[in-house]
Amino acid sequence: MPFRIERNDITRIIVDAIVNAANNSLLGGGGVDGAIHAAAGPELLEECRTLGGCETGDAKLTNGYKLPAKFVIHTVGPVWHGGGNGEEAKLRSCYRRCLEIADKNGLESIAFPLISAGVYGYPKKEAFKIAVDEIRSFLRNHDMEIILVVFDRNSLFIGDERFREVQGFIDAFYVEIPRRVYSCAANEPIGTAGREAPAKKTAKPHKKQKRGLFSRKESRDYGKEEDSIDDFLPGDDLSEESVPLPCAAMPTFTVDESFSEMLLRLIDEKGLKDSECYFRANVDRKLFSKIRCNKDYRPSKETAIAFAIALELDLNTAGELLSKAGYTLSNSILFDVILRYFFDTRNYNIFEINEVLFSFDQKCL
């Protein structure tokens, strides 16, 4: 995926260039500036001394020295004074200038911190949105691997109401099923791995679930008082209705249509151009052409889900597209349950999806 968000220390990332959120002197400081200078060693400061500083919104390139990254692009973000002093334009300029310098120097990968979101006080949520917006705009016309490195947990936060709503959905659907080892022949569980098979509980008759997916009605019902978690817990009878089967045994809806064929059909039905679809899915052109040219190509689960979101598919069609690649949205994988929440509420806003995934320590799309 050309663009990803990850929680990390930028000084450890192996890319062509990392971006430093510096100050106008370029002579070091605290925060990410201090961390980068400490990791790069004194030669970085020596080179910075020759640059004669940097304007706010501009950027300058140096070597990376002891850093895993080959280069450092130093940029100076705006100090937040409430938003009425052109802060947004200057912050956007930081991302654009860094990307311009990277492109001009033929760099193929770059990692950004959240510029100005620390000492300079830019509201983190806004700083994040500007970063993602500028990066995605650049990727419309350029091939580059771009990482947005989020260092501290509260850099990406979602509102309490959204958090409660998603948490309620997770409580209703996400069940940690003890790992069962299936005997490959019978598809029968032979007890949980390493432990005795759980004793049969007299669980309440659970609602029939579609394998791997909840019907829209059930997913609408979640959170109602009369429902208890038992209604959604697969009972101990492991007949295939109650527990998603291993992928190999998942149903295929129409045997003759592959993932690639269904994807291309849906793109046409939605009236989208190929480029618009794979851009929305944050999939690079090369990967898309592989999928397009090889009817039996099997993408990763994240890629299949990203296309389902880009096409704004309803829950069942998304499940059908995923099943073509041999996947299902499982109720025992937190990432899947969170994605189901967005399919179920028909919210395809990639910002919001990534904010929630990040808030629950899940990999972002």
In whole angstroms, the minimum distance from the beta carbon of 49 to ligand APR comes to 15
Angle, to 10 degrees, between the axis of helix 350-359 and the axis of helix 334-344? 150
Q: Do the beta carbons of residue 80 and residue 123 sit within 8 Å?
A: yes
3-class SS at 264? helix
* Among 6, 55, 133, 152, interactor with ligand APR by CB under 6 A: 152
- The secondary structure of residue 24, as a DSSP letter, is T
Give the Cα separation of 229 and 251 in Å (integer).
Answer: 26
Does residue number 29 form part of the binding site for ligand APR (CB under 6 A)? yes
Give the Cα separation of 327 and 212 in Å (integer).
Answer: 9
Of 26 and 325, CB closest to ligand APR? 26
* Among 1, 45, 51, 119, interactor with ligand APR by CB under 6 A: 119
182 pairs with which residues across the strands?
Answer: 189
> How many residues in total does the chain contain?
365
Of 20 and 323, CB closest to ligand APR? 20
71 pairs with which residues across the strands?
Answer: 17, 63
183 pairs with which residues across the strands?
Answer: 188
Does residue number 30 form part of the binding site for ligand APR (CB under 6 A)? yes
Does residue number 21 form part of the binding site for ligand APR (CB under 6 A)? yes
Does residue number 53 form part of the binding site for ligand APR (CB under 6 A)? no
Does residue number 321 form part of the binding site for ligand APR (CB under 6 A)? no
In whole angstroms, the minimum distance from the beta carbon of 310 to ligand APR comes to 28
In whole angstroms, the minimum distance from the beta carbon of 50 to ligand APR comes to 18
Give the Cα separation of 14 and 147 in Å (integer).
Answer: 11
148 pairs with which residues across the strands?
Answer: 5, 112
6 pairs with which residues across the strands?
Answer: 149
* Among 2, 118, 189, 299, interactor with ligand APR by CB under 6 A: 118
In whole angstroms, the minimum distance from the beta carbon of 160 to ligand APR comes to 21
Phi, then psi, of 287 in degrees rounded to 5: -65, -40
3-class SS at 303? helix
Of 56 and 260, CB closest to ligand APR? 56
* Among 2, 15, 23, 357, interactor with ligand APR by CB under 6 A: 23
Does residue number 80 form part of the binding site for ligand APR (CB under 6 A)? no
Of 13 and 321, CB closest to ligand APR? 13
Q: For the window 87-116, what string marks contact with ligand APR as x by the rule CB under 6 A?
A: --------------------------xxxx
For residue 145, give both structure tokens.
Answer: 């691997």
* Among 5, 10, 309, 339, interactor with ligand APR by CB under 6 A: 10
Give the Cα separation of 43 and 62 in Å (integer).
Answer: 10
* Among 93, 155, 219, 330, interactor with ligand APR by CB under 6 A: 155
Q: Site residues (CB under 6 A) for ligand APR?
A: 9-11, 21-23, 29-35, 77, 113-120, 149, 151-152, 155
